[in-house]
Amino acid sequence: VNQLVDLTMSSSACDVASIVYASTKESHPYIRTMCDATEKGVKSLAEATASCVQPVLVSLEPQVAAANEYASKGLDKLGEKLPLLQKLVDQVISETKEMVSSRVADAKDVVSG
């Protein structure tokens, strides 16, 4: 999970989502109330789940370690094949807009020619 979150694309996407979430909460009092209640519920649920799951995770530690290693290798391969994952979301959006604009311009040239 840490390796996935450390990918530039994931980290950037989380930052963007966090900014939008915080901005929305600040702008809309009714949504803020709902979000605050949801956050408290999720926190309580996470704490309860963690305390119940911890003994199971300890007993499954070798299997979890093997799954972690397998997932880590998979993410490394994915990162090699998709260099896009090493870019910021804003950069990907900008490059995509440029590419689409260029293709549209090329199509216009073909149609008008």
**For the segment 17-71, what is each residue's pLDDT rounded down to a tens digit?**
999 999 999 999 899 999 999 999 999 999 999 888 888 888 888 998 899 899 8
Number of domains in the chain: 1
Residue 109 lies in a domain: no
pTM of this prediction exceeds 0.75: no
3-state secondary structure of 112: helix
Looking at residue 56, its pLDDT comes to 87
Query: Which residues does 87 contact at the CB level (< 8 Å), separation at least 6?
Result: 8, 9, 12, 95
Residue 89 lies in a domain: no
17 CB burial (10 A radius; 0-12, 13-18, 19+): exposed
Identify the domain containing residue 67 by its residue range. 1-80
Looking at residue 106, its pLDDT comes to 87
Say yes or no to pLDDT of 1 above 80: no
Say yes or no to pLDDT of 113 above 80: no
Residue 14 lies in a domain: yes
Residue 99 lies in a domain: no
